[in-house]
Structure formats: C-alpha cells, structure tokens
Structure 1
Amino acid sequence: MLQGRQHLLQLYRSVAWTRPFSMDLKDVVKRLEDLAPRSLAESWDNVGLLVEPSGRKTVKSILLTNDLTEAVTEEAVSRQVDLVLSYHPPIFRPLKRITSSNWKERIIIRCIENGIAVYSPHTAHDALLGGVNDWLAKALEPKSTEPIQHSSEGGSWSHQVLLTTSSEEDAIRVADSLKQVLKSRTGTVSIVATAVLVSCQESVLALVARELETCAPNVQINVTQLQKAPRPGYGMGRLCTLEAPITPAEAVAKVKKHLGLEHVRIALSPKATMDSHTIRSYAVCAGSGASLLRGVRADLYLTGEMSHHEVLDANVQSGATVILCEHSNTERGYLKDVLKGKLEQRLEGKVGVVMSEVDRDPLVVV
C-alpha cells in the first residue's frame, strides 16, 4: 500500500512538473515586446496586441500562425488556446464595423466570443537581429550579412520640445496638461526642475504647439530634431556575400531545402544560366520585397513575391536573378525553426507554445 502511494505521489509530481502553468496576458505581451520592440516595426504597420478579451486574462497556451484565417481561428477555438500570435496582423486597415459579412471581421468576433487574445509582431521581427530575414538569409549560408535598410538607435521619437517655466509648480501644471492630450504611443512628457521635455514624432508637433498656446502662451520653446545612429545588425532585408560563387541551380536547391518547398519560381538575369557560377552576392527580403530590393546591387534577389514588371526591372535594370517562393513561405519556417523556441525560453516554460496545423500559403503549384 505504501509503495502504491509513493508511486502515485511520484506520478503526480511528474505531471505537475511537465504541464504548462500560466501567465497573465499583460506579462506575456511585455515579454513579446521585450523580444521584438514595437519601435522596430515600420511606421505603416499595425503590430502589438490587437484583440484583448475583457477582464483579467490568463494565458496557458499560444498558437503560432503566419496568417489568422478562418480555418486557423476554428483551430484555435478547438484547441482551446488563450492567445494567437499571428505573424501578419489580421487587423491592418481601420475597421468601421464588425459584422459577419466580412471574413476578417468574423475572425475578430470568434476570438472575442471565445476569449482569445491576438498579437501580431510582423515587421518588428523583419528588422530584428536574428529575426525572419536572418533566418531566410541562412538558406545560402552567407559569409557576411548586413541589413539593407538599418534600424535606428534612440527609440521611436524624431523630435524633442524643451520649455522652461518660471517654477516647478508651473512645470507640473504644463506637463499634466500635455499628458492629457498626448498618449504614450504618440509622445512622452518628463520634468526636470522647472523644465518640461516632450519627446514625440514630427506629426505630433502641431498638437503640442496648440496645447502650449493655451497652457503656456508666453514660454519660449526650443524644438530639436533627433539624430539617430544606425542600430548594428537590425533593419529591413539582408545583403549577403558568399564564400565562393554558386550557380542559380545550386541556389534553388538550397532555398527549397531550407524552406521545405517542392517548387519555387526563378527569373534568370540576362548574363546567367542555371549552371553558371554567377552568384557571389544576394539580397533577401521576407514577404514582398520589390520596393526594398529595388536597385540593390546583388547577383540574386530572394523574396516571396514580386510583380511581372518588378521582376523585369530586377533582371534587366539591376542585372539580378530573382527567386520567388510565395509570400508566406519565406516567413512561416521562421516561426517553427526559431520563434517557437525563443518564446518557450522567454516564457520560461510556463506557457505552452504550439504551431498551427492548418496555416499554409494560399498559392500552390498544380
């Protein structure tokens, strides 16, 4: 009998040790943003927590997907996950209504109904050192790599407004007034003795000026544009060099193996053949790379999608061979190969992290 009880106790301890625990949603979001700060994302993007259930939300499991489709949403509901991390933001353009007539709106309704939070990192992981573009660049085993468009140090603000008031009381009054009109995502306000310092984007300067006309009309104001140094290793796309030149055929084989694909599309530059050793450098951009890669000096462009005329420009104008893999195929493997492990480490094993089994690129070769 004693041995039986000891066996049950050991079994209970092993189950309790291996099962995921839980973490407050706010703590999960903080750790996601510590990993890839929203300041790294492009200004046009919509990243961060996009759907937040009401009340205090506890997260026991996270579903990783490249796109939050209706099929993935039903998967999230059936697997009873608490948070979906969707690489692409399911809410991108502003919603004027939430009805059942539009598939993206139906997704939001289903998530809210089932208490599922939604988070999207998107271009924050495009720019991240060790992020999706570094993962994609590894397909051809580069000798060296650097961002095509560097991220900047010094946070997300482009300007600072400094004003000195006559007393600390006035400084507090002015700062409080500015805080009421500025949200944390559009600017910060701090006080040093009788001085008030506002950090913000250029687009917010008019709002600050209008408020100061009311609360501090006779105070002199100094506006400074911040100069930001490049952030080493961080930025959009990657420009890479190879140890030795390879052929387009070898590049295709390596890309297909790295991405787990049976087919890719290739457009050879006029000076190349499939078996000529013409690739000594290459530029990558996960997703849609035409605008970032335009004019980049490299023998090969590797990306998800480009239009017909953009491919012609790359071939003829830039002299580059182009390999296209379809948009999400250049991103999805990063979630499985890299991000899943990073999240498990950041969340200290307290939250289960699983991959979607139904997420896939909508385009297939038939």
Structure 2
Amino acid sequence: MKAAHAQTIIQAFEAFSPKNLAVEGDKIGLQIGTLNKPVEKVMVTLDVLEPVVDEAIEQGVSLIIAHHPIIFRPLQNLRTDQAAGRTIEKLIKHDIAVYVAHTNLDVADGGVNDLMAEALGLTSTQVLAETTVDRVKKLSVFAPVSHAEVVREAIGDAGAGKIGDYSHCSFQTEGTGMFVPSNEADPFIGEKGELARVDEVKIESVFYESQQSEILRALKQAHPYEEPAYDIFVSDIKGKSRGLGRIGYLEQEMTLDAFIDHVKGAFAVKGARAVGDKSKPIKKVAVLGGDGNKYLRTAIQKGADAYVTGDLYFHVAHDAMIEGLACVDPGHHVEKIMKQAVADKLRKFITSKKYDTEIIVSNIQTDPFWFK
C-alpha cells in the first residue's frame, strides 16, 4: 500500500463537489501550499483557525480540506505577529496545503444543504434558490471490442448513464475504426505509417455537465489508445436544477415552539434565535446553511412556514416577522455537519483504491459563540 497523491484525493472530492457548482466569485480551490505531493493524513474541517492548524501539525496532517475559506477577502498584509498571518506562516512552514470547497459543497448533491435537510427529516426536498441548471450531455466513445466493457464500466462508475434509479445506462453499436499512426505515435493497435482497421464498439451514455471532468478522466485512464476518439453533445433534455438551500416537508406538523427544539436536537446546539408565534403550525420548511439573509424572500415566495438559516440580520428578522415567516437561527456553525460526511466519502474512496492515507476530522470547536 502507498499514500495517495494530494491531487488524486482532490479529484475524488471534486467528483461529488465540482468547482463549477460554486457561486460566481466564490473563493474556492487550493488556497495555500501544493497538491503535488503524496499525503499520509488528511484533515476535514469547517474552519481553518490557528487552533485547527495547531491540531493538524500535532496530528501530522499534510492536507486540510475546509468548507470556509481561510482567505476570503484580499490580504492587506501578512504579519506573522498577528493571528491571521501567524496561521498562514505555520501552514507554510509545516508544508500543509489548504483546499477549500465553499458554495460548491453547499450546492452539491449530498452536500451541506442536503445534509441539513436530512438532519431535519425533510421529505420531497427541492432546491430553494436555483443558481444554475446542470445541462444534460451525451458522450459517444469508440473503443476496441477487447476493451469496450472496461471503458463502459469506467465511465459508468464515474457517473455516466445515471438515469433515475438506474446506473451505467448505455447503448452500443459495432463498426470498423480506421486510422494511420504517425512515426511519432505509439499505437496500441496497428503499425506506424500503415492504415489500421479495428473492430470497435461505439458506446453512448448521458451525464450531467458537472460530471464531465471526472468522466473524461476515467475514460482516458481506462481506454487503451493514447488518443481515444470521443464526441460530446449537448442534449435538449431538461437539465437538473442546482442551487443553494433546500425546501421540503416535515413528516409531522408541529408548532414553532416544538420545531425549535427539533432544530436544536438535529444540529446539537444549546440554543437558537427564533422569529414568530410559538404556536404557529410548521409543516413546509426551507433550510440554507450559513448566511441565508438574501434568500428570505425566496423562502416566502415558495410558501415555507419556517426558514432555518444562520446569521439572521435584525432588519431581515423584522421582514420575516411582518411577512409571517417563522425563522430559526441555530448559528452559522451548524455547517459542521459537513465534516463527518466528507470524511466518510473520502475514506470510501481511499479504501476502494487501497491507499494508505488516513482521513481524520478536526475536533476543535470553532464556534465563537457560547450561551450563558
């Protein structure tokens, strides 16, 4: 067994949280260090604060995957006699890379907002605020008969051909492929300078645009040719709505007073700010991780009885109160729900590839608030 390469781990991560799902201008991706190295230990965290970095150093971590950017606003200076600069200094001195997945992890299937909706027990969930439509595309790839099954399985494992409750959906036709390898080529089949005729299979499968990079990577790894032949077409089939927040239904209606306790239990918090009449019946619920102030109107327009989000502003809370929308603010920090979920996904990948890399979750409490 050997340690996984940092870039390999990030490629696996981006397979379920692609960068192109992020809101325009968001600060995501590699922020500190390099991915050009093997890593024996990876830490998943919500925030990259100095105590988290100290924990990473003590644990021998060489890659941190975080939800909140360590660099969000332009740096005015990098003073190592102050906490922010000192934190970055420690990361660089100990060769710890920091990779950030922010709104792309919010939007992703199984990401922060799906996890929060699941914790609340919401059913029939839909996207609250659409940010993009994930277009449907179609891949046509040509492979020699001897490797058709390997290629088909590889692109299917990467997500191609997922239709409803079915996976690895594809269609194939057989034919003859022809090509002439140049003198500089290293052909898998045929001779340099001579026309080769090969029995080939054309494999066709649909996928979402956000999956394209991962599917093409899998295709090229599995295909025997040094230059695989493939086409990609944009389909007229309606794409998948992607966006921030989720809206769905509680299995049982409850009062706002009971719902507040439900929220506290779901996210393991000691308190929560709330807006609205305690006796108001709650059935349809909108949830958005982090700062959801700008999407309050969306929750109202979509008929939510209650809106669960963090960092509610005073005047936005007034708007909710006037409009009759109940709100529950359990704190921005409840996005910590992503830590274990991301770690579990990465551990599954590491195990499947038989890498000797450990995935750990930060144990540092980064919520700055406490209740008296």
The normalised TM-score by structure 1 is: 0.68
- The corresponding residue for 2:127 is 147
Aligned residues of 1:66 and 1:359 also touching (Cα < 8 A): no
Return closer, same or farther for 1:281/1:230 CA change in 2, 3 Å cut-off: farther
Match of 2:216 in 1: none
Deviations along 1:229-279, one digit per CA (max 9) or x if unpaired, are 8753631111112344211122122211211112112111xxx3x244x11
* 2:250 matches 1:259: no
Where 2:269 maps in the other structure, the secondary structure is coil
Given the superposition, is the C-alpha separation of residues 230 and 88 from structure 1 closer, same or farther in structure 2, using an over 3 Å criterion? Answer: farther
Residue equivalent to 2:343: 340
In the alignment, which residue of structure 1 is the partner of 2:45? 65
Structure 1 unaligned segments of length 5 or more: list them.
Answer: 1-15, 156-225
Matches within 5 A, 1:310-321: 310-317=316-323, 319-321=324-326
Give the Cα separation in 2 of the matches to 1:134 and 1:33: 17
Pairwise mapping of residues 29-40 of structure 1 onto structure 2 (< 5 A)? Answer: 29-40=10-21
* Pairing partner for 2:313 from 307, 312, 318: 307
| Mapped contact 2:134–2:241 kept (Cα < 8 A) | no
Q: Which amino acid aligns with 2:347?
A: E
Check if 1:327 corresponds to 2:332. yes
Secondary structure, aligned partner of 1:28: helix
Contact 1:66–1:87 at 8 Å: present in 2 too? Answer: yes
> What 5-or-longer segments of structure 2 have no aligned partner?
137-233
Sequence identity of aligned pairs in percent?
Answer: 28
Q: Give the letter for the 1:333 counterpart.
A: I
| 1:49 matched to 2:57 | no
Higher strand share: 2
1:126 corresponding residue in structure 2:
106
Contact 1:283 1:293 in 2 (8 A): no
Count of aligned pairs: 268
Aligned partner of residue 148 in structure 1, secondary structure? strand
Structure 2 Cα separation of the partners of residues 106 and 284 of structure 1:
36
Q: Structure 2 counterpart of 1:294, which letter?
A: R
Counterpart-to-counterpart distance in 1, 2:59 and 2:238: 43
Q: Deviations over 1:15-43 (max 9, x none)?
A: x8xxxx41112212211212210000111
Runs of 4 or more above 4 Å deviation: 226-231
Counterparts of 1:198-347 in structure 2, within 5 Å, are 231-232=239-240, 234-268=242-276, 272=277, 274-276=278-280, 278-297=281-300, 298-317=304-323, 319-329=324-334, 331-336=335-340, 338-347=341-350
Equivalent-residue separation in structure 1 for 2:306 and 2:236 (angstroms): 31
Q: CA RMSD in A?
A: 2.3
- Pairing 1:78-227 to 2, within 5 Å after superposition: 78-150=58-130, 151-154=132-135
Cα gap change, 1:345 to 1:234, in 2 (>3 Å)? farther
